[in-house]
Amino acid sequence: MRKSTLYLIYITLNSLVLFFFLLVHPVLTAKTHNGRITEEKMLITALGITDLCLFTEAPYTRHPSQSDLHAAFQDHPMALEHFPSGSLVSPPDGFKGSEP
């Protein structure tokens, strides 16, 4: 048997084992996570937190509903995106302008 075939079998088996654990892990830890989510809901209610923080990098990705049109282009309009999360969050519907 060639070494490349052994390697392919090894990678396939490892992928299957990893996929199995990805399916089993949520079932095994559901009780712990449900308790944590309940605690976080009580904390949010107690603190009166109103907005969701999606990313921790840039202000315009933390709260997309509160960003302005040119927040991503703080240096100049042709500037490259500084933060990877800026490419994952689309602008709010009000900022998209008039679309046909």
35 and 64 fall within a common domain: no
85 and 43 fall within a common domain: no
Q: For 20-76, what is each residue's pLDDT tens digit?
A: 999 999 999 988 888 888 888 888 888 887 666 667 676 666 665 665 655 555 656
What range does the domain containing 19 cover?
1-50
Would you say the pTM of this structure is higher than 0.75? no
More confident residue, 3 or 44: 3
80 and 43 fall within a common domain: no
43 and 1 fall within a common domain: yes
Q: Using the predicted structure, report yes or no on whether residue 12 has a pLDDT greater than 90.
A: yes
Separation CA 38–CA 41 (nearest Å): 5
What are 7's two structure tokens? 């390697």
pLDDT of residue 17: 97
Answer yes or no: is 90 within a domain: yes
What are 38's two structure tokens? 């309940």
* Burial degree of 72 (CB within 10 A; 0-12, 13-18, 19+): buried
